[in-house]
Amino acid sequence: MIEDAPIEKERVKIVLGLGNPGRRYADTRHNVGHMVVDRLAFLKKEEFASGNGPFEYCRIEYDGNEIYLCKSTTYMNNTGKAAAAIKNYFDIAPESIMIISDDSNIPLGKIRFRVSGSDGGHNGLASVTRYLHTDAYPRLRLGVDSNPAGVPLEDYVLEDFDKDEFDVVDKMVAESMRFIENLALGKIENKSITITVL
């Protein structure tokens, strides 16, 4: 189910998946941004190369429309360093960089797209806003549910997904990949979109 409010937006040229580097964090809630770009690169048979800064990137294409997938190689709280380096390396405006992140304020199974907005308490988005000097950049936020009572948020997002959550996570990743394809093909023309995969 998709709910939207139609508003034209700037074309996205970069998709930056947020997460922490290293195998230790690969399957954690904080790393769903990395999961999306990793799986898409794998399916497109592309490999990430080191960028000029704390990020990796690869180029993919849909019917002649190119888009660059990027991964931050900093830890989450310093993601803004990667975003700023990407902006300078590709010489683009912040509104052409779409961030993919987890969001503990959104239920598992929901995805929200916005062209701008607050960081919502997310340290990675806060860092991006600080380094880009604006919050006017698009973001695709994948819901990971709120932290249970008695579990600090900073610990919760660094935990692996539970086994019974894997199916929903896979669906969110797949839906995010379809969203990126539609973005590259110019089919996303809305300011606000909510996608429910359940």
Q: Residues 6 or more apart from 63 whose CB is under 8 A from it? A: 185
- Among the options 30, 34, 122, 133, which is catalytic? 30
Element (H, E) at 174: helix 166-184
- Is 30 designated active site? yes
What does the pLDDT look like over 114-133, one tens digit per residue?
999 899 889 999 999 999 99
**Per-residue pLDDT, 10:** 57
Of 195, 160, 135, nearest in space to 20 by CA = 160
Specify the range with the lowest mean pLDDT, choosing from 5-14, 61-70, 102-111.
Answer: 5-14
pTM for the whole structure:
0.92
Over residues 4-39, the pLDDT tens digits come to 433 334 578 999 999 999 999 999 999 999 999 999
CB 143 within 8 A of CB 122: no
- What span, in angstroms and rounded, lies between the C-alpha atoms of 179 and 5? 16
Beta bridge partners of 113: 140, 193
Checking if the pLDDT of 49 tops 70, the result is: yes
Q: Is the dihedral of CA 110, 29, 35, 103 positive or negative?
A: positive
